[in-house]
């Protein structure tokens, strides 16, 4: 203890009377991680100490557990937080939001807000992530994961993952693997006018102009299920650099993609071993 307090005496068991020279102040030495200045009888390596000016650390078993910096940053498991709140761990660190009782109305929610004023919760809420129970039988618990955003001071659900792994965008029940309530957009058409072209990972549709082209397609095994659309606007042929394209009428892979006729088109999909032309002219 510091010099501002003095021991007056012992009263009943468990009582300790302390008189302060300045009643508003109780001071301790800084202490250390192995010997915190505020500890417990029989457990000297558990308690609080001051690692640096204006900082506080909570210690158990002689190790830092929670650190509060001079800037108000808090870390669980680290001594140097870089953000307002951090959880750091070596072996798959976890954070849990838990409802005490199982009920279809007990949602576990993580909110993102812009103000401490909660008088208008919708206006101050940027987004919400909710775990929504759909079945509370302890032997077969089920829940959906919901994402909501704020638009015009109204918090609205926008995406839901159901317990079967299906995803809904703008629709939240009776979902297929991906259900979208609205239009979708993919990358704009890539225009090519060269004798050789290597398809990019980001290409979705390719339009060939006036030059016959040999195309290097992505390795089918690396993109099973991927779809490519191709179109040619002049009477020039488009071929693959490898024999990895199956035509619409055969299961034998070759190099032909588009014959030399203006307006020809094809939709190709990778089956994991070849590019299969599923539709076209």
CATH code (residue 196): 2.60.120
**Same-domain check for residues 197 and 260:** yes
**Same-domain check for residues 173 and 199:** no
**Same-domain check for residues 208 and 254:** yes
* 260 found inside a domain: yes
**Same-domain check for residues 214 and 243:** yes
Measured distance CA(128)–CA(104) in Å, rounded: 18
Average pLDDT over residues 238-246: 97
* 243 found inside a domain: yes
Place of tokens 């001051």: 50
**Same-domain check for residues 75 and 15:** yes
Cα dihedral 93, 97, 100, 105 in deg (nearest 10):
-150
Mean pLDDT of the chain: 87
**What is the DSSP-derived secondary structure letter of residue 221?**
G
Measured distance CA(32)–CA(25) in Å, rounded: 21
Percent of the chain with pLDDT over 70: 88
* 102 found inside a domain: no
* 94 found inside a domain: no
**Same-domain check for residues 42 and 78:** yes
**What is the DSSP-derived secondary structure letter of residue 121?**
H
* 23 found inside a domain: yes
Above 60 in pLDDT, residue 9?
A: no
Number of domains in the chain: 3
Measured distance CA(205)–CA(270) in Å, rounded: 14
CB 157 within 8 A of CB 150: no
Average pLDDT over residues 251-268: 97
| Residues whose CB falls within 8 Å of the CB of residue 23, separated by 6 or more in sequence, listed in order | none
**Same-domain check for residues 194 and 219:** yes
**Same-domain check for residues 122 and 62:** no
* 73 found inside a domain: yes
**Same-domain check for residues 151 and 216:** no
Boundaries of domain holding 120: 108-180
| Residue 220, helix vs strand vs coil | helix
pLDDT given at position 26 = 73
Average pLDDT over residues 261-279: 97
Residue range 148-193, pLDDT digits in tens: 999 888 899 999 999 999 999 999 999 999 999 999 999 999 999 9
Strands 85-87 and 74-76: parallel
* 129 found inside a domain: yes
**Same-domain check for residues 66 and 15:** yes
Residue range 65-110, pLDDT digits in tens: 999 999 999 999 889 888 999 988 887 888 888 877 888 888 888 8
* 32 found inside a domain: yes
């Amino acid at each position: 203890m510091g010099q501002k307090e003095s021991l007056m005496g012992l009263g009943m068991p468990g009582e300790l009377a302390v008189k302060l020279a300045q009643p508003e102040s109780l001071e301790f030495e800084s202490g250390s991680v192995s010997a915190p200045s505020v500890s417990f009888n029989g457990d000297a390596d558990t308690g609080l100490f001051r690692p640096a000016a204006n900082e506080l650390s909570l210690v158990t078993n002689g190790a830092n557990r929670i650190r509060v910096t001079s800037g108000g940053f808090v870390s669980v498991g680290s001594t140097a937080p870089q953000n307002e709140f951090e959880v750091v761990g070596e072996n798959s660190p976890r954070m849990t939001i838990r409802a005490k009782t199982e009920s279809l109305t007990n949602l576990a929610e993580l909110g993102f807000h812009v103000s401490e004023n909660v008088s208008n919760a919708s206006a101050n809420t940027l987004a919400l992530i909710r775990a929504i129970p759909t079945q509370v039988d302890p032997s077969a618990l089920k829940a959906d994961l919901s994402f909501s955003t704020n638009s015009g001071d109204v918090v609205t659900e926008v995406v839901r993952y159901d317990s079967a792994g299906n995803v809904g965008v703008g629709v939240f029940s009776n979902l297929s693997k991906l259900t979208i309530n609205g239009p979708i957009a993919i990358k704009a058409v890539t225009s090519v006018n060269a004798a050789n072209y290597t398809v990019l990972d980001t290409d979705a549709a390719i339009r060939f102009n006036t030059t016959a082209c040999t195309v290097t397609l992505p390795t089918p095994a690396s993109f099973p299920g991927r779809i490519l659309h191709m179109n040619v606007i002049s009477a020039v042929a488009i071929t693959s650099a490898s024999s990895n394209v199956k035509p619409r009428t055969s299961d034998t892979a070759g190099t032909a993609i588009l014959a030399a006729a203006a307006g020809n088109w094809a939709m190709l999909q990778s089956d994991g071993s070849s590019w299969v032309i599923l539709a076209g002219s």
